[in-house]
């Protein structure tokens, strides 16, 4: 149930740690979030193309089972959303396209919400696991929408000075207090 959130949180924290160690690309929590969301989307987007024999992630067939009956061409829709997730991931890591990618991904997450609700209500298992309960699935989707929009707000990757976190310098050099002054 927490797998997808971990696909977001662990890379996000890893990128943020790199920022704290002085890698400017990840100097803010928003930049780390954008790259963490991109990492998650590479994994989830790849699942849209995975054959049933792959057991480490949901397969294409499993994702097709989540598509509500009112959506036409479920196989094509799963492939299309997979492509959009992968393109969105790429867009998030390129500063010039981050804003557009974030807004587009937020819209995609909203459009995919009925599939998540359908899977929860109809108890559609995914990758051999029980369906994620609706009480978890909807807030999880809201987290993804929020982070996509938050990432979109930092398209130039240069946040205001107040948002910058301190950067650790390595090796740390301590000044000796001379006792003067």
pLDDT, tens digit, 9 for 90 and up, residues 31-49: 999 999 999 999 999 999 9
Which residues sit opposite 126 in a β-bridge? 129
Check pLDDT > 60 for residue 75.
Answer: yes
Q: What is the mean pLDDT of the chain?
A: 86
Structure tokens at 102: 């974030």
Q: How many CA atoms lie within 13 A of 79 on its CB side?
A: 6
So what's the pLDDT on residue 162?
Answer: 44
Tokens 């050099």 correspond to 173
* Residue 61 pLDDT grade (very low, low, confident, very high; cuts 50, 70, 90): very high
Check pLDDT > 60 for residue 181.
Answer: no
If you average pLDDT over residues 12-24, what whole number do you get?
Answer: 93
The pLDDT tens digits for 161-178 are 444 555 555 554 545 555
d(CA 116, CA 109): 10
Query: What pTM was estimated for this model as a whole?
Result: 0.81
User: Which residues neighbour 157 within 8 Å (Cβ) at sequence distance 6 or greater?
Assistant: 25, 28, 31, 95, 98
So what's the pLDDT on residue 165?
Answer: 52
The CA-CA-CA angle for residues 158, 159, 163, to 5°, reads 145
So what's the pLDDT on residue 157?
Answer: 45
If you average pLDDT over residues 149-157, what whole number do you get?
Answer: 75
Number of neighbours of residue 74 by Cβ within 10 angstroms: 16
């Amino acid at each position: 149930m927490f797998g997808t959130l971990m696909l977001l949180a662990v890379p996000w924290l890893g990128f943020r740690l790199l920022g704290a160690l002085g890698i400017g690309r990840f100097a803010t929590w928003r930049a780390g979030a954008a790259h963490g969301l991109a990492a998650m989307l590479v994994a989830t987007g790849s699942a849209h193309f995975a054959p049933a024999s792959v057991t480490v992630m949901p397969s294409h067939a499993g994702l097709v089972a989540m598509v509500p009956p009112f959506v036409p061409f479920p196989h094509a829709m799963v492939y299309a959303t997979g492509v959009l997730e992968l393109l969105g991931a790429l867009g998030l890591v390129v500063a010039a396209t981050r804003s557009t990618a974030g807004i587009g991904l937020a819209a995609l997450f909203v459009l995919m919400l009925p599939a998540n609700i359908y899977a929860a209500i109809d108890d559609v298992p995914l990758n051999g696991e029980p369906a994620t309960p609706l009480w978890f699935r909807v807030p999880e989707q809201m987290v993804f929408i929020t982070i996509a929009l938050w990432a979109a707000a930092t398209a130039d990757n240069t946040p205001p000075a107040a948002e910058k976190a301190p950067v650790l310098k390595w090796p740390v050099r301590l000044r000796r207090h001379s006792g003067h002054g």
